[in-house]
Amino acid sequence: MMDDFEDFLTPQSPVYLTVFEATQQIKFLLETELSSMQIEGEISNFLHHSSGHMYFSIKDAKAQMPCVMWAGRNSTLAFKPADGMKVRLEGRITVYERRGAYQLDVISMQPVGIGPLQQAFERLKAKLDAEGLFDDSCKKTIPDYAGRIGIVTSETGAAVRDIISVIRRRWPAAQLILRPALVQGETAAADIACAIEEFNAFGEIDVLIVGRGGGSLEDLWAFNEEIVARAIAVSQIPIISAVGHQIDFTIADFVADLRAPTPSVAAELAVPDQTEFNEQIRTLLCRAFQQVESKVYYARQQFAALLRSYGLRMPLDGLIQARQTLDELQSRMQASMDNKIEFEKQRLNSLTKQLDSLSHRSILRRGFSIVRDKSSQAIVREAAVLHVDQIVDIEHAQGCSEAKINAVFDK
């Protein structure tokens, strides 16, 4: 009995769960305690996977929730979901064990309209488009060989590292100037616009790359602000926009002189490839050398031929021979032209006769007539469309007449 008392006083070791076991308990609680939910919000980070499943977030001004809609359910949707679209969802909360994250398993989705951010995007896009800021006539040409390149982006993001890496590999001779800028947050748009203005004031820049890496519509919103769009529009320096991923489009993309789908591609568009450039130089030098060598050889051959030629010894005889050749060529040309003209005349006459034989006039000359309704001038092709006392016009080979229908007979 004493041993039992000692066991009672001895602290018991806590029972530790595996991560999987803990996740299973959380999953059980969420999926059994929470019933079906109806949620209204704006779609963000939409992805229609190649498997057919749809992955996205639903959000409002204060929060967001990951969602999934399986292919078997979304195949019957009567609309195409997209970022910025406001929708009403019905589904249940589930837990994705691999990431330990909850998500809304969407059963049905109905469109409500366009979310506030997307509405603002569309309004500003329409306004600037009406002002002509997107017109191709406003676009400046990106130089083929930029010597000094300005970069407006975050100094700590992956975008600047990608841009520098690509340019250093493709065109090491280029000088890069980074103006660090905020690319997200309330003051980001003003900072980006200020950076563009500072580069223009500096002036010694061949091309500007303005952008950042990918993100949600909210993350990229600084590049949808009017202040940034107008700074790009008035820039005297050609600007390449490099915002987000290939599927992301911002107002800055439409205003910029050239849109790149990613920062890395923007770097490729800003500079040539030194390997290709060097190969082009080598090719041009080889062609130039070959052409010079060929011309020298040809000139030597011509000079040697002139020294041996009969014309050099007898210039007047050569002139007479050339004159005779010219006369023969002129006679041949004249004969050829005369034959061509005669051939075309005969062909024209033949076509005229064919056209005349196909004309309704030739049919009328054989004794036929064309009957037309007096009021509509429609051609009467059968007696059934006529009625007594109807006035008709009759066209003959020579002249026309008018008649009144006294009787209609069936064939």
pLDDT in tens, 315-346: 666 677 788 888 888 888 888 888 888 888 88
Quote the tokens at residue 215.
């993100």
35: domain CATH number is 2.40.50.140
Give the pLDDT mean for 358-366: 72
Quote the tokens at residue 369.
């007539």
Examine the domain organization and report whether 55 and 72 are in the same domain: yes
Examine the domain organization and report whether 64 and 165 are in the same domain: no
Examine the domain organization and report whether 124 and 268 are in the same domain: yes
Identify residue 297 by its one-letter amino acid code. Answer: Y
- Residue 78 in any domain: the answer is yes
- Residue 320 in any domain: the answer is no
Examine the domain organization and report whether 143 and 264 are in the same domain: yes
* Strand partners for 104: 67, 93
pLDDT in tens, 203-254: 999 999 999 998 877 789 999 999 999 999 999 999 999 998 777 789 999 9
Percent of the chain with pLDDT over 70: 93
Whether the CB-CB separation of 209 and 177 falls below 8 Å is answered with no
- Residue 330 in any domain: the answer is no
Write down the pLDDT at residue 233.
Answer: 96
Whether the CB-CB separation of 103 and 70 falls below 8 Å is answered with no
pLDDT in tens, 42-95: 999 999 999 999 999 999 888 899 999 999 899 888 778 988 888 999 999 888
Examine the domain organization and report whether 103 and 159 are in the same domain: no
Give the pLDDT mean for 94-107: 88
Write down the pLDDT at residue 61.
Answer: 81
Examine the domain organization and report whether 260 and 304 are in the same domain: no
* pLDDT band at 399; cut points 50, 70, 90: confident
If one counts the domains in the chain, the total is: 4
Handedness of CA 156, 158, 161, 164 (dihedral sign): negative
Examine the domain organization and report whether 279 and 397 are in the same domain: no
How far, in Å, CA of 269 to CA of 258, rounded? Answer: 9
Examine the domain organization and report whether 107 and 221 are in the same domain: no
How far, in Å, CA of 270 to CA of 173, rounded? Answer: 13
Examine the domain organization and report whether 372 and 390 are in the same domain: yes
Whether the CB-CB separation of 146 and 266 falls below 8 Å is answered with no
Domain termination residue (choose one: 74, 90, 113): 113
Indicate whether 1 pLDDT > 60: no
Examine the domain organization and report whether 67 and 199 are in the same domain: no
Q: Which residue has the tokens 């006529």?
A: 386
Whether the CB-CB separation of 11 and 88 falls below 8 Å is answered with no
pLDDT in tens, 181-202: 999 999 999 999 999 999 999 9
183: domain CATH number is 3.40.50.261
Examine the domain organization and report whether 68 and 32 are in the same domain: yes
Write down the pLDDT at residue 10.
Answer: 58
Give the pLDDT mean for 285-309: 85
Whether the CB-CB separation of 65 and 103 falls below 8 Å is answered with yes
Mean pLDDT of the chain: 87
Give the pLDDT mean for 25-35: 81
Indicate whether 367 pLDDT > 80: no
- Residue 259 in any domain: the answer is yes
How far, in Å, CA of 58 to CA of 40, rounded? Answer: 8
Write down the pLDDT at residue 14.
Answer: 77
Quote the tokens at residue 279.
């190969």
Q: How many residues does the chain have?
A: 411
Examine the domain organization and report whether 141 and 182 are in the same domain: yes
- Residue 11 in any domain: the answer is no
Quote the tokens at residue 373.
């309704």
Indicate whether 110 pLDDT > 60: yes
3-state SS, residue 106: strand
More confident residue, 169 or 322: 169
Segments forming the whole domain that contains residue 240: 120-272
Write down the pLDDT at residue 174.
Answer: 94
